[in-house]
Amino acid sequence: MVSRNDDGQLVAQAQAGDLSAFDELVRRHHGPIYCYLYRTCRNGAEAEEMTQESFVKAWEGLRGFRGRASFKTWLYRIATNLCINRVSRRKPQDPLSEEMPASRRDEPEEVLRQRLLSERIGRALEALPADQRSALVLSIYDEMSHEEIAEAMGRSPASVNSLLYRARIGIRQALEAAGARSLMRVPAIGNRGFRVYTIEEHEV
Partner 1 sequence: MSTPLKNMKCDEVKLMLAGLADGRLSERDARAVEEHLAGCANCRQELESLKSDAALLRQDPKPEVPVWLASRIMAGVRERREQARPQLASTAPVGQYGLSRSWARAAAVVLAVAGIWLGTLLGRGIAGSQPSLGERLAAYGVQILDEEGM
Give least dist CB 93 to partner 1, A: 25
Question: Terminal CA-to-CA distance of the chain, rounded, Å?
Answer: 52
82 binds partner 1 (CB under 8 A): no
Please identify, among the stretches 2-10, 72-80, 91-99, 134-142, the one whose residues bind partner 1 according to the rule CB under 8 A: 134-142
**Contacts to partner 1 from residues 98-117, by CB under 8 A:** 114, 117
22 binds partner 1 (CB under 8 A): yes
The DSSP call for residue 70 is -
Of residues 85, 88, 145, 198, which one binds partner 1 by CB under 8 A?
145
Report angle CA 158, 164, 165 to the nearest 5 degrees. 95
Give least dist CB 8 to partner 1, A: 20
9: how many CB neighbours lie within 10 A of its CB?
Answer: 14
- The neighbouring-strand residues paired with 194 are 187
**Residue 139 contacts by C-beta under 8 Å, 6 or more apart in sequence?**
146, 149, 164
Distance in angstroms (rounded) separating the CA atoms of residues 132 and 176: 17
185 binds partner 1 (CB under 8 A): yes
Of residues 15, 18, 35, 155, which one binds partner 1 by CB under 8 A?
35
Of residues 146, 151, 152, 153, which one binds partner 1 by CB under 8 A?
146
Residue 93 or 111 with smaller CB distance to partner 1 = 111
Cα-flanking dihedrals φ and ψ of residue 194, to 5°? Answer: -120, 145
Give least dist CB 1 to partner 1, A: 17
The DSSP call for residue 179 is T
196 binds partner 1 (CB under 8 A): no
Give CA 12 to chain center in angstroms.
27
- The neighbouring-strand residues paired with 187 are 194
Query: Is residue 184 within 8 Å of residue 83, measured between CB atoms?
Result: no
Binding site for partner 1 (CB under 8 A): 19, 22-23, 26-27, 30-31, 34-35, 38-39, 44, 47-48, 51-53, 55-56, 59-60, 114, 117-118, 121-122, 136, 139-141, 143, 145-146, 161-162, 164-165, 168, 171-172, 175, 180-181, 184-185
